[in-house]
Amino acid sequence: MSEELIQIETPFAFNAENQREFDELIGRYPIKEAAMLPTLHLAQRQAGYITPAVMKYVAELLEVTVMKVKDVVTFYPMFFEEPVGEYVIRVCHTLPCALRDCKVVLDHLKAKLDTDIASETNLAKGTTADGKFTLMKVECLASCDVAPVIMVNDDLYKNLTPEKVDEVLDNL
C-alpha cells in the first residue's frame, strides 16, 4: 500500500466513545499488539469497513507496521476491506444447516433481495443496488440445533423458512 493511497483517503480517528473503550482495552494486554482484534472490531463498527486510513490509524495506535495490520485484516473473514450494506446477512451453509434446507433460505434471500452472494474478494457482488443489504454465505454459526440460521448484523434468527425470512426482513 503506497503512501499516496493513504493520503487520498479521509483520515480516520476514533470518536470519543470508542477512544474511551480503546483506552480501557489497551490496558488488558502486556503488549499493545495483542489488542489488534478488539481494536479492529471497534474501528470497523465506526467506519463500516477497514479502509487503508483505518489500518494506518490502528497501526499507529498499536505501534506496529501498517503491513502487519493488513496481514491480520486479510486473514479474518469478519473484517471487510470493501463497503458493505447497512445490514450484513450471513447465511450459514455448513452441513447441519444444509441438512435442514438452508439452500431454500439462501435462494429465497437471493430472489427477494435480487442480488448474488458476496465472495470474500468481491463484497460488491452480494450488495444490493441501494446499498442496504449484503448477502454472504458463512461457515457454521454454532446453532445447529435451530438450523437453518442466519445472522443479520449482530442478531441470530433461528429455524428459518422462506416465510420467516420475509418476516425478519420486514421487521428490520
Residues that bind other proteins (CB under 8 A): 28, 30-31, 33-38, 40-41, 62, 64, 68, 71-72, 75-79, 90, 93-96, 98-100, 138-147, 151, 154-156
Q: Shortest gap between Cβ of 129 and other proteins (angstroms)?
A: 26
Q: Which residue has the cell 472490531?
A: 41
Q: Shortest gap between Cβ of 77 and other proteins (angstroms)?
A: 4
Cell of 71: 496481514
**Distance in angstroms (rounded) separating the CA atoms of residues 144 and 128:** 28
**DSSP code at position 159:** S
| Closer of 17 and 166 to other proteins (Cβ) | 17
| Closer of 127 and 143 to other proteins (Cβ) | 143
Q: Within the chain, where are the H helices?
A: 3-8, 16-26, 36-47, 52-62, 66-75, 95-99, 102-113, 162-170
| Closer of 33 and 167 to other proteins (Cβ) | 33
| Closer of 47 and 156 to other proteins (Cβ) | 156
